[in-house]
Amino acid sequence: MEIGIDTTPDTGRLVREAIDLMRGARIAVLTGAGVSTDSGIPDYRGEGAPARTPMTVQRFLASEDARKRYWAGSHLGWRHFGAARPNAGHVALASLEASGAVAGVVTQNVDGLHRRAGSRHVVELHGGMDRVVCLDCGQHYARQAIAEELTLLNPGMDLEQSIRQAPDGDVVVDEVESMVIPACSICRGILKPDVVFFGEFVPVPTFQAAASLVAGAEVFLVAGSSLVVNSGVRLIEQARRRKLPIVVVNRGVTKGDSRAAVKIDAGASETLTAFAEALGS
């Protein structure tokens, strides 16, 4: 069979092995940052990634100044994410779901690109940048509406000019003190992008949705994740206990390599495209 990716003979053999394992099986998928790098979204955990100070909930709640800085950086990031487009890997997974091979996608990414590519059953372990939640009353808002309010609350302030990316990947905000951030329109509570912060736990119902997807699967496919995140390791462990064959596609080593039936050291976009071409209806 012709595999549509430029690979060493060894990688080509591994891709065929993975396809044989997955053919006719119900596949649960876990994706990480490596699936979105071809959409221009940097993999902050990958090699050569810039150092970054992660925001914790404690820091976010502790000071208005930290919240302003976070919102400023997040606004810039969201604008960047909004301009990103799903890549061939996202499209391949959506088509595998449409053809019935993939039961659903669990993702560590917050960029929303799986849903935008057409995937329907998506569990976002770390939340989504396109939503905002009130930490006091739990009300959810569309990110677009809050972004527009942020612009309205800061007339005369050129947010794009004031907020920029420093060479170390951190965000520089020139006018952070004068910036006004939106509050909950119901209770005036603190708003936070609906993403899981560093050191925060994945909400229990979200993890349960991911676990039930793995429980109902016959093969577990991990793509573009080095599995350094605890929730990913727990899902791999669950798959292993259920004796599901595990396929890992990632550039570089992952914590799941020793448990994988097949490990393919290659890019997610081209490998998932090869899977979709071979397994599509």
Binding characters for Zn ion, 63-102, by CB under 5 A (x = yes): ----------------------------------------
3-state class (DSSP) for residue 21 = helix
The CB-of-192 to Zn ion minimum distance in angstroms stands at 11
Map tokens 């994706």 to a residue. Answer: 31
Q: Closest Cα partner for 239 from 213, 203, 207?
A: 213
Q: Is 126 a catalytic residue?
A: yes
Does residue 187 belong to the site contacting Zn ion (CB under 5 A)? yes
Contact 169, 49 (CB under 8 A): yes
The CB-of-64 to Zn ion minimum distance in angstroms stands at 17
Nearest to Zn ion of 185, 238 (CB atom): 185
Range 166-185, binding Zn ion (CB under 5 A)? 184
> What secondary structure letter does DSSP report for 154?
S
* Residue 54 CB partners (closer than 8 Å, separation 6+): 197, 198, 199
The CB-of-146 to Zn ion minimum distance in angstroms stands at 12
Does residue 106 belong to the site contacting Zn ion (CB under 5 A)? no
Contact 137, 219 (CB under 8 A): no
Q: Return phi, psi of residue 215, to 5°.
A: -60, -30
Contact 32, 281 (CB under 8 A): no
Binding characters for Zn ion, 124-143, by CB under 5 A (x = yes): ----------x-xx-x----
Nearest to Zn ion of 139, 238 (CB atom): 139
* Residue 155 CB partners (closer than 8 Å, separation 6+): none
* Residue 258 CB partners (closer than 8 Å, separation 6+): none
Contact 77, 128 (CB under 8 A): no
Which of 189, 190, 197, 233 is close enough to bind Zn ion by CB under 5 A? 189
Tell me the site size for Zn ion, rule CB under 5 A: 8
What is the C-alpha separation between 176 and 70, in angstroms, rounded?
Answer: 10
Q: Which candidate in 75, 90, 114, 126 is catalytic? A: 126
The CB-of-281 to Zn ion minimum distance in angstroms stands at 46
Nearest to Zn ion of 165, 185 (CB atom): 185
Nearest to Zn ion of 136, 174 (CB atom): 136
The CB-of-19 to Zn ion minimum distance in angstroms stands at 49
Nearest to Zn ion of 67, 259 (CB atom): 67
> What secondary structure letter does DSSP report for 105?
E
Point out the residues that are catalytic: 126
**Which residues lie near Zn ion (CB under 5 A)?**
134, 136-137, 139, 184, 186-187, 189
